[in-house]
Structure formats: C-alpha cells, structure tokens
C-alpha cells in the first residue's frame, strides 16, 4: 500500500486530534467529519488499485496527496445530515449532535446575539450552504403566446382563406398583382396575432414582477445582537429568526426559545390541526408554514432548495391565466355576437353563390361571369374563393375579438397604475369587482390612523402621574417588570453610544419607549433576575397577554398581565394608589376606574392596563405544573393612554367614498368610546348620528343578536367596537346576504376568514401578516385608507373603460354587418372588400382598445352610485348611443352605395373608396363620442390623454396611406380634396348627433332584459 499512499502526518494529526478547546458536540462533529473523509479517501484508492491495468506508467510518484481539508469556516458540520435530521424530525439524531445548542455551536451562531452578519460572514455561509432562493419554472417565452394566438379558430379560418386566395390570385393575375388579397389577409392576421401576443406576453411579465414583489417578505432576524428586518431571500444558515403570530416561517430550522409557539403546517402536510413547537418534544420548524399562536426564535439550518418548501415551490408555476368574471361575461357576449355574424355571413355566402350561378354577376368588363358549361372550372373556383373570403371577413368583423383584448389591456394598465398608487393587485378579478363595491369595512389602527403610537397619559390609582419620580419605588419596579418581561418587543442599545433602537408592534414600541425614556427601565438587567415559566401570547380574540415567572433571588412566583383596560380591570380585586398602598377595588372604585378609561377613550386614546399578583406558596406547585396563569384577584398597577393620530387625508377619502354611494364601516378591537371618537374624527360617524345607539355597537352585542335582528340592524351599523375576528366575519356575511358587494380591510392572522369571505379582501402591506396577505385580493402597500378609496376609483374606471369600448366596438359591428348584408342581398356585391374589412377590424379592435382602455379615473366616476353585480354589461345608455350612431352610419353608407355615383359624379371604384373612407372616418369621430357615455362634453380632459390623441393621429395617417398610396393593395382610388372634405364632413356629423342623442332620457328597466349575456 505504501507504493500508492503516503499522507502527510501533520495532515492526519490535524484531522484526528480535535482541539481541546472544542465543546463536546463540536468534537462529535469533528470525529464524524474525519470518519467520512477517511472512508471516502480509502474507497477512492482501492478503486484506483482495482482498476490498474497491466500496462504501468513509466514513472509513478511515490505518494498521492489527498486534499481532505473541509470548508474552513464550518469544518465540524455535515450539512446534508443536518438537513435530513430536520426534514425527518429525527429527535434522537439531533441529540447525538448535541441538541440545538450543539448545532448552533457548529454553525458559529450565538443563540442570543445571532451571527455576526457582516459581508464576509454572509458570503461564507452562502458559499457553504446556499442562498434562500429556489429556481422558478422558466417564464413563458414570447413564442408561446404567438402559438396560443394561432389556436384561435377565426385566425385558422382566415389563414386557410388567405392561402387559397393567394394561390388562386397568383394563378389568375400573376405574382405581381395576384398576391394582394391573400397577402393582405396574411398581413392582417400577422398584426392581430402580434398585438395579441405582445399584450399577453407583457401582462405575463407584469404578473411575474408582481409575484416577485409579493414573495419578497420582510423577516426579522437577530444579527450581532441587533434585531433587524431583512428580505426573506437574504436569510442564511445560522441566522436567528424572530417569529410571531401570522408570520411565515422563512426557512427550515430548529426552535431556540419562545413561548406557546404553535405552527400551522397544513400547507406542507394537509393537516389542519396546529402543531406545538418546543425545545423538548418538537423543535423542528419548516419553511412555508405559518405561526398560528405564540412567539419565539428559530435557528436556520437549511435554506432554498435544501428545504422541503423549496423543492416543492420550484416545480410549481403560478397560474397566470386567471379569467376574471368580466372576461367570462365578455367571452359569452363575443360568442353571442359571433353566432349572429356567422348566420349573416352564411346568408351572404348563399346569396352570392346563388347570384353567381344564376348569371346575375358581371366581371370588370361588364360580361356575365357564369355561362354554364362555357365557364372554366378555374374561374368558378376563383369566384368561389372570392365569395368565401368575403363571407369569412364578414365573420371577422362581426366577432368583436377586441373585447377580451380590451379587458386584458385595461386590467394590465390599471394594475400598473394601481401599483404606483400603493395598491398591489393579487387577483385580477378584484380590479373590476371593486368598481361594484357598495360598502367598505375598515380597520382603525394603521388604516385610519398613522400607527405611530405614543404614551401620552399614565394613571396610578385614581390620579394621573405627570412626573415618574413621584411613583412609589415598589410600584415602579412592578411596572418595569410588567413591561420588560411581558412583551414581544426588544431593545437594542449600541455599544458605542446611548442610542437605543426599539422593535416590535407599534403598541409594544410605544410602551417600551415610555418605560425606557420616562421610567428609566433597563430591560436586560430585569431579565437577569427572573426566569419565565409560561407565556400567554396576545391575540385579537383575548386582547391581553400574560407571563408567569419565577424570581431567582427568592424563588417566588409572579404573574403579570397587560391588555385592554376594561378586560384587565375585570380581572382585578385591588389596586395600587399613588403612595404605593394596595386598596380594595369595590363597586364604587370600579365605577371610578371605568370613568377614567372612558375619559381617555373619548380623547381618542387607546387604554392599556397593567396588573400583577404574587402566587402564594401553597399554590406555586399547582401553577408551575399546570402552566396556567391566574386570571382573578389581581392588583391593578396602572393605566396608560396611547395616542394614535388620524392619518392626513382620511376624512376626505371617507367623504369621497360616501359621496360615491359607498358606506364606510369601522370595525375595531378598541372600546366603544375610543371607536366613537376616532369614527367621528374620520367622518365615518356624524356627531348626531348615534342618538338611538344603533350606529355604534359592540362585537359581543352584535354576536348575541338573533339572525333576524342582525339582518335588520346591520345596515344601520357604522362602528363595531371590541370586535373579534368572528364578529367581522359575521358582519361581512350579513352584508352579503343583504345584497351588498363588500370590501374588507384586515391585517391580522385572524382576519383571514373575513378577507376570504368578502368580495374584495384588502390586506395591509406594512402591518399585515403573511396569512392576511395570502387571503386577500389586493395589498394596500402603505396601509392608508386613502389608498382604499383610490382602489375603488380604479375599479370603477376599469368597468367604465370596458363599457366605452363595448359601445364603440358594437357600433362598428352592427354598421358593418347591416351594410354588407343589405348590399350583398340587393346588389350582389359587398361594398367593403376583404382587405378593407380587415383594416377596419384591425383599427377598431387593437388601436381602439388601446385608446379607450387606458383612460384614467375621473371625479365623475365617484359621482355615480355603485354598479350592482347583476346589472347588465350593456346599459340602456350604451344601447341608446350605439344604435343612434350605427343607424346614422348605415343610412349614410347605404345612400352612398346606391346613389353615390350620381350624387358625386364618380366611377364605381371611386364610390367604393368614398364608402370605405367615410366608414373609417365615422369610427374615428365616434371614438371621441365613446369617451363619455353620459356627459355631452366629450372633449373634457382630452389633453391629458396623450395616448388617445396619438392613436387617433396614427389611425388618420394610416388611413391616408391606405387610400392614397396603397391603391392596388387596398383596392382604392385616390380622392381629391373635395371628396376628402365630404368624407370628413359626413363623419364629423356624428359629434352633433351624439350630443343630441344624449339629451334623450332612458328608462331604468334594462333594454333587451330578456337577453342574458
């Protein structure tokens, strides 16, 4: 063996001899690592020996150097084994590794202060263990959308006709002129497919961008003793991550410390029961799961593709082909119109074929086209192809393919603009549903208010405290303990200076800030004197949090409670007065405290109470064993009033919603007095509105109504105070039963059922938990109610833009169908050729959709009542407008068809050009009419929509090119200035006609109500 192997002795010693300074778990990792590397080395050498051939090299080295040096930074850990331990929840193997503490040591993580977190440290960890990202399925390429567009049946029919037309055209007229008809259809098909594919491709890309933004969750970690927020993608193995109710677990890991931590693993296992996570029986946490209760800290052991969630998500592609309700209705409408168009096209086909074979058609020289047996088969086939192509183009014009395109464009445009207006759309359908919203149920904290809380009042006993130096020393210590130990927040004080950084929820930050700055509290010192035994975490149902702890000095056990003032007050039987004496809390005293709480609440203050009890010796063992906090006979320490000022602009936003016919209701966990004060300040409640007590109710009262009472009173309720998430859900259900379209805002985990139940769920981007965001349709990025009002405006804009385009599109369809049908039946020929009809279709479908679908919201939208969800898509006003314009166009164009030659003294070909030119220009002028469905002034705000003006300009330029320069291609003749003037004059008459028509009143009963679109 010595011929093949000579290993440096120093290398062996460095691996086998673990340094004496290493902890026991690290020595185990060291030994495991050495064993793995030696077994691999020996196996490799034996393989080399066995594979040795008879032909030996001329000179062989006397030794082989094996590089068995591990990754220098993490030499005592086999990451693959650790990943498997966590994935398989292998508690025995975890103990072999030295438990969680051993793993933390091996990962060079301080369980309290986290990793160093400098650039080099992060880079080393990412190199050793990977980053917290996973490869997504490749995005759909542009070619995919081109192929999708080709699957359209109409496109396939057009391509078949184009091929036949091209073949017979070249055969009949030669290559130089025979390609026009077939080639023009190809060009039109190419343009339609291009616009459709580009639009869908861009929308897909936009969804991808939104998906990246929505996946970029902010996570709280501890690095170098400093609690900070980072992106989920920046987490590395060894990080200490802070978890609280509603958080998504960002990576696989192990539980370090915390209390009452329960995790919802249904996304991984499908089991709906919450799993308790603790140090002894189940310290395993998995990426993608949600924190259901409690709080804690975890040590990250695997990231990205090494997690079960990463493996799963890398194979899942988000479905971007979501069809909104409006798109479904439009597809149905398109189908209905298509059937009518198909019937008309078939009729035209039959009429033209009959006229041809009965000898009623003439060629360009005035000769009869069909002469029985004398006509060549080739001529008959050419004629049939021409007739079929004309029929197919009628179908193409009849089917308003632009409708789905218009919806796609307007939704994509609206989504982009809403993002700029602080609203991220997660579900497309929410854009249009929001336009129909009749009521908005909003939270108070952070939505109507700034969520910048500050303690402004403190009451000790029945006296307000102005100066903390006057507080009794014993009481002061109790307050400091209650704040420091019963909190999910933290305080970071930089070593270099006195600058402090407080993290946690806004309420926690306000209380901690007050305790540190006003009461001179040192959180770290207090924590050293007490051992926490059990914690009851705060949630929106209980509205309180408590802590059971042992004082290390004398082993006495204490309970501290903190929460909504009236709830804590109900648990107390005594109180501390200003001098530090304990007084009995009888009914009279209780009434006094209730008045103090009401007074603070009436000043828009959120009232928090602190209470304490020392557990008697005889009850200590029971309390420790049961891990249950005592909830009665407490002593009230004090009351604090926290001010959260209203957001600027909220009152105006509420008034805008009310003016638009949308009721705003406030649902809050605060007490009645605070809720009433804030609601009045925001304009939700008028000062004189709650005289009979029906406008403001408590959640419990609402909950205890009979179903009949709830349905009767829910319409009058403007404010619901002291509500639980169940009360919010109950209100949403009642409002929906009454026919309302309900939008709900929510930020907590417990708001998820109400957000899902509502027609539009709006979650908060800053304060919202990941559970709330996943249950919502739209995320309000700045947590501001004014943004909710903006979303309402955009929702109405989407619906209004679609209606504008439908009116415009159907005017074209009705006019083109009637003109071609009447002319074909009576004269035996179609005045608008295949190329011309395709050109009109292209202009109206794509450019028209682009022009009308990108109109921005106006104040007028908020002056109308909400559109009910059952109202017809084509309103009476739209029918009035489109029928008037269509009838005018039909009358003018049929007059030109039958009398144009004599009226203008022109040839048949010039007359056909006049008909084509007038028809297109009528659509251009009617595009202005379509901008306003009801208002007579269609030019208002026109200068703001540069895109609309640009598209009108492009359309006119292209039309001039078609008429003047593409004579053979478009089958047109050049027109002189007078003829152009006549065409423009006739088309411009649609403006005064539109103005007059809008003076005609329409009934409220839906026109053609028997038709179900």
Look at residue 937 in the predicted model and tell me its pLDDT.
85
> Please, what is the average pLDDT of the chain?
81
Helix (H) / strand (E) containing 764 = strand 760-764
Give every CB contact of residue 570 below 8 A, 6+ residues apart in sequence: none
Question: Helix (H, G, I), strand (E, B), or coil: what is residue 999?
Answer: coil
> Which of 46-60, 513-527, 775-789 shows the lowest per-residue confidence on average (mean pLDDT)?
46-60
Q: How far is CA 442 from the centre of its chain?
A: 18
pLDDT of 607 strictly over 80: yes
The residues, any chain, with a CB within 8 Å of residue 178's CB and separated by 6 or more, are: 166, 169, 170, 171, 172
3 pLDDT more than 50? no
With DSSP H G I counted as helix, E B as strand and the rest as coil, what are the percentages for the chain, rounded to 5? 55, 15, 30
Give the Å distances, CA to CA, from 562 to 162, 496, 545, 790. Answer: 78, 33, 6, 38
pLDDT digits (tens, 9 = 90+) for 385-424: 777 767 776 776 676 666 766 677 777 788 888 888 888 8
> Cα(489)–Cα(483) distance, rounded to whole angstroms?
10
For range 120-125, the mean pLDDT? 90
Task: State the pTM of this model.
Answer: 0.70
> Residue 346 corresponds to which tokens in the numbers above?
């078939």
Chain centre distance of CA 580:
53
- Highest-confidence range of 300-309, 398-407, 470-479, by mean pLDDT? 470-479
| Two structure tokens written together for 629 | 């906090």
Structure tokens at 468: 């903390």
Q: Where do we find the tokens 């021409």?
A: 386
Compute the distance between CA of residue 392 and CA of residue 338 in angstroms, rounded to an integer: 12
Q: What is the pLDDT of residue 75?
A: 60
Query: H/E element holding 864?
Result: none
Tokens 């949308």 correspond to: 662
Backbone angles phi, psi at 267, to 5 degrees: -70, -20
DSSP state of 777: S
If you average pLDDT over each of 3-12, 329-338, 868-877, 962-971, which comes out highest? 962-971
Q: Is the pLDDT of residue 468 over 70?
A: yes
Active site residues: 443
pLDDT in tens, 532-570: 888 888 876 778 999 998 899 888 899 999 999 989 999
Helix or strand holding residue 421 (H, E): none
Indicate if the alpha-carbon torsion angle 960, 966, 970, 972 is positive or negative: positive
Evaluate whether 8 touches 64 at the Cβ level (below 8 Å).
Answer: no
Q: How far apart are CA 241 and CA 222, in angstroms?
A: 6
**Angle made by CA atoms 140, 143, 145, in degrees to the nearest 5:** 70
List the Cα angle 481/484/485 in 5-degree steps: 75
- Tell me the range of 375-379, 501-505, 1003-1007 where mean pLDDT is highest: 501-505
Return the closest-CA partner of residue 933 out of 967, 975, 884: 884
- Alpha helices per DSSP H over 358-470: 377-398, 402-420, 429-433
Tokens describing residue 833: 């050729």
Q: Hey, which residues does 724 pair with through a beta bridge?
A: none
CB 470 within 8 A of CB 481: no
Predicted pLDDT of residue 611: 95
**Distance set, CA 822 to CA 386, 392, 827, 834, 884 (Å):** 18, 17, 8, 17, 19
Is the pLDDT reported for residue 12 higher than 70? no
Cα–Cα separations (whole angstroms), residue 550 to 227, 280, 528: 26, 20, 11
Identify the pLDDT of residue 365: 67
Confidence of residue 15 (pLDDT cuts 50, 70, 90): very low
CA dist 833 and 973 (Å) reads 13
Angstrom distance (rounded) from CA 948 to CA 930: 12
Structure tokens, 430: 């929410």
Q: Return the sign of the alpha-carbon dihedral for residues 753, 756, 760, 766.
A: positive
Q: Does the structure show a pLDDT above 60 at 862?
A: yes
Over range 696-701, report the average pLDDT: 90
The partner residues of 613 in beta bridges, in order of sequence, read 559
What pLDDT does residue 1012 have? 47
pLDDT tier for residue 246 given thresholds of 50, 70 and 90 = confident
> Can you say how many angstroms the Cα of residue 682 is from the centroid of all Cα atoms in its chain?
27
pLDDT for 57: 41
Question: What percentage of residues in the chain have a pLDDT greater than 90?
Answer: 19
Instruction: Summarize pLDDT for 723-774 with one digit per residue, the tens.
Output: 888 888 899 999 999 988 899 988 776 677 888 889 899 988 887 777 788 8
CA 312 to chain centre: 22
Confidence of residue 626 (pLDDT cuts 50, 70, 90): low
Which range scores top for mean pLDDT: 326-330, 520-524, 607-611?
A: 607-611
In this structure, the number of other CB atoms found within 10 A of the CB of residue 921 comes to 21
The residues near 140 (Cβ < 8 Å, ≥ 6 apart) are 201, 204
Contact criterion met (CB below 8 Å) for 812 and 923: yes
Strands 605-615 and 463-464: unpaired
pLDDT band for position 92 (50/70/90)?
Answer: confident
Six-digit token string for 613: 């009890």
Q: Distance between CA 539 and CA 534 in Å, rounded? A: 16
Q: What are phi and psi of 531, to 5 degrees?
A: -115, 120
Tokens of 206: 């936009």
Q: What is the mean pLDDT of residues 663-687?
A: 88
- Hey, CA dihedral for 388, 390, 391, 396, is it positive or negative? positive
Express each pLDDT in 198-212 by its tens digit.
877 877 777 677 667
* Residue 973 near residue 909, CB atoms below 8 Å: yes
Confirm if 982 and 921 have CB atoms less than 8 A apart.
no
Measured at the alpha carbon of residue 973, what is the angle toward residues 970 and 979, in degrees to the nearest 5? 120
Mapping DSSP to helix (H, G, I), strand (E, B) and coil, where does residue 273 land? coil
3-state secondary structure of 230: strand
pLDDT of residue 665: 94
| DSSP-assigned letters across all residues of 305-348 | GGSHHHHHHTT------PPPHHHHHHHHHHHHHHHHHHHHHHHH
What CA–CA distance (Å, rounded) separates 114 from 104?
A: 9
Q: Which of 56-70, 561-575, 958-972, 995-1009 has the highest mean pLDDT?
A: 561-575
Q: Which residue has the tokens 């496109």?
A: 155
β-bridge pairing 663-667 and 719-721: parallel
Q: What is the predicted pLDDT for the residue at 983?
A: 93
108 Rama class: left (phi>0) / alpha (psi -120 to 50) / beta: left
pLDDT value at position 24? 55
Contacts of 46 (CB under 8 A, 6+ apart): none
Separation between Cα atoms, residue 635 and residue 268, nearest integer Å: 45
Query: How confident is residue 190, by pLDDT bands cut at 50, 70 and 90?
Result: confident
């Amino acid at each position: 063996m010595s011929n093949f192997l000579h290993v440096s002795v120093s290398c062996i010693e460095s691996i086998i001899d673990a340094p004496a300074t290493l902890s026991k778990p690290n020595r185990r990792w060291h030994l495991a690592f050495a064993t793995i590397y030696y077994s691999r080395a020996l196996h490799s050498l034996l393989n080399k020996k066995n594979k040795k051939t008879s032909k030996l090299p001329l000179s062989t080295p006397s030794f082989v150097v094996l590089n068995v040096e591990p990754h220098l930074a993490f030499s005592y850990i086999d990451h693959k084994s650790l990943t498997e331990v966590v994935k398989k929840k292998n508690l025995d193997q975890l103990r072999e590794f030295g438990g969680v503490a051993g793993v933390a040591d091996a990962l060079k993580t301080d369980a309290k202060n986290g990793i160093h977190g400098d650039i080099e440290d992060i880079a080393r960890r990412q190199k050793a263990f990977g980053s917290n990202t996973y490869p997504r399925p490749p995005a759909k390429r542009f070619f995919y959308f081109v192929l999708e567009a080709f699957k359209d049946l109409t496109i396939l029919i057009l391509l078949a006709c184009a091929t036949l037309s091209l073949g017979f055209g070249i055969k009949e007229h030669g290559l130089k002129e025979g390609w026009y008809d077939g080639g023009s259809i190809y060009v039109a098909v190419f343009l339609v497919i291009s616009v459709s594919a580009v639009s869908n491709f861009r929308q897909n890309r936009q969804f991808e961008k939104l998906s990246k933004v929505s996946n970029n969750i902010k996570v709280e970690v501890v690095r170098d003793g400093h609690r900070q927020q980072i992106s989920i993608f920046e987490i590395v193995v060894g990080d200490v991550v802070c978890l609280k109710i509603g958080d998504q677990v960002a990576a696989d890991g192990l539980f370090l410390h915390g209390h009452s931590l329960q995790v919802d693993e249904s996304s991984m296992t499908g089991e709906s029961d919450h799993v308790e996570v603790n140090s002894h029986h189940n310290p395993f946490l998995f990426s993608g799961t949600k924190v259901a209760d409690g709080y804690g800290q975890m040590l990250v052991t695997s990231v990205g593709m090494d997690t079960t969630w990463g493996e799963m998500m890398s194979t899942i592609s988000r479905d971007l082909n979501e069809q909104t309700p409006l798109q479904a209705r439009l597809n149905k409408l398109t189908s209905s119109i298509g059937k009518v168009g198909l019937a008309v096209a078939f009729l035209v086909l039959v009429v033209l074929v009959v006229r041809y074979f009965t000898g009623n058609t003439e060629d360009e020289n005035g000769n009869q086209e069909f002469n029985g047996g004398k006509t060549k088969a080739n001529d008959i086939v050419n004629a049939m192809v021409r007739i079929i192509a004309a029929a197919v183009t009628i179908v193409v014009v009849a089917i308003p393919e632009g409708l789905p395109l218009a919806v796609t464009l307007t939704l994509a445009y609206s989504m982009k603009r809403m993002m700029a207006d602080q609203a991220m759309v997660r579900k497309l359908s929410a854009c249009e549903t929001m336009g129909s919203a009749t009521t908005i149920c909003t939270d108070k904290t952070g939505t109507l208010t700034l969520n910048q809380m500050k303690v402004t009042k403190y009451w000790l006993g029945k006296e307000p405290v102005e100066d903390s130096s006057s507080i009794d020393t014993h009481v002061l210590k109790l307050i400091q303990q209650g704040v420091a130990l019963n909190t999910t927040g933290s305080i970071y004080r930089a070593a270099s200076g006195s600058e402090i950084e407080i993290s946690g929820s806004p309420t926690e930050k306000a209380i901690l800030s007050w305790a540190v700055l006003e009461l001179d509290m040192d959180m770290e010192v207090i924590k050293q004197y007490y051992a926490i035994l059990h914690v009851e975490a705060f949630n929106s149902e209980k509205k309180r949090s408590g802590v059971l702890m042992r004082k290390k000095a004398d082993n006495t056990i204490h309970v501290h409670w903190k929460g909504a003032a009236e709830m804590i007050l109900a648990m107390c039987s005594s109180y501390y007065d200003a001098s530090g004496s304990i007084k009995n809390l009888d009914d009279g005293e209780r009434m006094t405290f209730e008045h103090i709480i009401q007074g603070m609440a009436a000043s828009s203050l959120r009232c928090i109470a602190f209470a304490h009890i020392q557990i008697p010796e005889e009850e200590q063992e029971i309390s420790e064993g049961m891990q249950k906090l005592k909830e009665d006979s407490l002593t009230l320490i004090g009351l604090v009033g926290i001010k959260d000022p209203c957001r600027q602009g909220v009152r105006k936003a509420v008034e805008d919603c009310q003016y638009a016919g949308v009721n705003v209701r406030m649902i809050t966990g605060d007490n009645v007095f605070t809720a009433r004060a804030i609601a009045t300040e925001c304009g939700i409640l008028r000062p004189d509105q709650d005289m009979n007590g029906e406008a403001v109710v408590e959640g419990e009262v609402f909950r205890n109504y009979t179903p009949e009472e709830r349905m009767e009173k829910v319409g009058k309720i403007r404010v619901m105070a002291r509500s639980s998430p169940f009360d919010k859900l109950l209100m949403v259900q009642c409002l929906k039963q009454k026919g309302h379209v309900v939008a709900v805002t929510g930020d907590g985990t417990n708001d998820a059922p109400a957000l899902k139940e509502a027609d539009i769920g709006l979650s908060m981007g800053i304060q919202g938990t990941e559970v709330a965001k996943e249950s919502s349709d739209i995320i309000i990025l700045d947590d501001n109610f004014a943004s909710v009002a903006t979303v309402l405006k955009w929702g109405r804009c989407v619906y209004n833009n679609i209606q504008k385009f439908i009116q415009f599109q159907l005017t074209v369809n009705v006019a083109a169908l009637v003109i071609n049908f009447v002319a074909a039946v009576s004269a035996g020929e179609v005045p608008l050729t295949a190329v011309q009809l395709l050109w009109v279709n292209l202009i109206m479908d794509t450019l028209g959709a682009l022009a009308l679908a990108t109109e921005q919201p106006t104040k007028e939208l908020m002056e109308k009542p909400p559109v009910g969800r059952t109202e017809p898509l084509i309103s009476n006003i739209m029918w009035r407008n489109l029928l008037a314009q269509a009838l005018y166009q039909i009358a003018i164009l049929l007059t030109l068809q039958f009398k144009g030659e004599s009226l203008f003294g022109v040839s048949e070909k010039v007359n056909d050009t006049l008909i084509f030119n007038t028809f297109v220009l009528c659509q251009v002028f009617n595009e202005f009419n379509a901008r306003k469905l009801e208002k007579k002034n269609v030019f208002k705000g026109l200068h703001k929509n540069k895109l609309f003006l640009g598209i009108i300009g492009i359309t006119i330029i292209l039309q001039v090119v078609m008429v003047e320069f593409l004579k053979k291609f478009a089958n047109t003749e050049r027109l002189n200035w007078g003829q152009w003037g006549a065409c423009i004059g006739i088309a411009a008459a649609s403006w005064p006609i539109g103005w007059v028509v809008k003076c005609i009143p329409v009934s409220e009963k839906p026109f053609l109500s028997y038709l179900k679109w």
